[in-house]
Amino acid sequence: MASRLVTPRFAVVTLAALAYFIAIAAVLPVLPVFVETDLGGSSFEVGLSVGIMGVSAALLRPILGAIGDRKGRRFVMMTGALIVGLGMLLLIPAQSVAVIVVARLITGIGEAFTFVGAAAAAQDLAPEDRRGEAASYFSLAIYGGLALGPLIGASLDDAAGPDAVWLFAAIMCVVSAVLARIAAPGPTPEMADVERPSTFLHHAAIRPGAVLGLVLMAQAGFVSFIQLYSDDIGISIGGLAFLVFAVVVVTLRLVAAKVPDQVPTIRLARFAATCSATGLAIIGLTRSTVGVVIGTMIHAVGQTFLFPGLFKVVVDTASERSRSHAIATFSMFFDLATGLGGIALGLAADGFGTESAAFLAGAGLCGMTAVLVGPIVGPAVRAADERAAIGADG
């Protein structure tokens, strides 16, 4: 009989993560348009404003993430969510790209805490034999928030302007902090004995994180430019691509949650990268509503299955006492991809004079990753298998 996974505490921690990622994502369709239209920013400045949060989070993530192994998941979730809320409030008076960048840097500091705390809390509350499934449900909060948030943000912007979006995001961060206070695990006696990590990066997360980062650089370009691209080609339904993305991701997260425990990690990651490459290429080449819808659907399939399998390898390889450090290292690649992907693909869009270039460059990154995923991730998968075999023998 399978161990129970979805307990009330697990559900509330997942809801806390969902509220947080809705807050993060609500600004995504609004901020690029605000920077370009209201502040007169270039495509590079659009990518910088969206992505700089990821840079500050990535630089701090391994340092701050290890705090979760000593102070507990509740502390880092609450602290991070409240700092992100402050960063959202600082967007309200912003009248220049420089102020936007400062606010986003502060948001990145909070992000360095929150993601790690939430991901570690979900794994702490999950049975060992269902960690891949737990990662699927947790990543439903991530990608569900990243998909639903833009729809809410775009609607609020249409109804009341960007300040309403920034305020909504801040409120959702407070909701996340409250839910974390209720359900996230606090410090345990064993945590008092946890030593500071001897290395900046946890070895278990580097290879899976590299694959995650390469594909998510393309996702950063999708998030940064899909709304501008949709407006440019005359799509009249605001946030259509985000809606399609949300439906696909949420549906697959629910009906295919067990897949990461059933399909070999390398095969699943290669499939995910290939789907994202195909979908982004269709978006960039067709310049049509049909192309955006079909391409987004295929890209969303890839994004659905990328995270859980790679995450499971990281958690299975790391010890419980270093879990936050390992997750911090893994999610650092998430942040680097968000930051550098938006900037790099913004430069591609500027260089070729069209947002199509951002999607085609992203397709190229994903295609390259699909080819290289085996050599990159293979050693990490073998290490996870060896650790599992030792645990079974013990």
Give me the pLDDT at residue 91, please: 94
Give me the pLDDT at residue 393, please: 43
DSSP letter for 322, please.
G
Nearest to 328 by CA among 213, 208, 201, 210: 201
- Sign of CA pseudo-dihedral 92, 94, 100, 106: negative
Residue spans of the chain under pLDDT 50: 1, 392-394
At residue 287, the 3 state secondary structure works out as coil
Give me the pLDDT at residue 323, please: 72
pTM, whole model, 2 decimals?
0.71
Domains of the chain, with CATH numbers?
8-187+201-393 (1.20.1250.20)
| Cα(73)–Cα(13) distance, integer angstroms | 10
Tokens coding 7: 């307990």
Contact 74, 117 (CB under 8 A): yes
| Cα(87)–Cα(108) distance, integer angstroms | 8
Give me the pLDDT at residue 165, please: 96
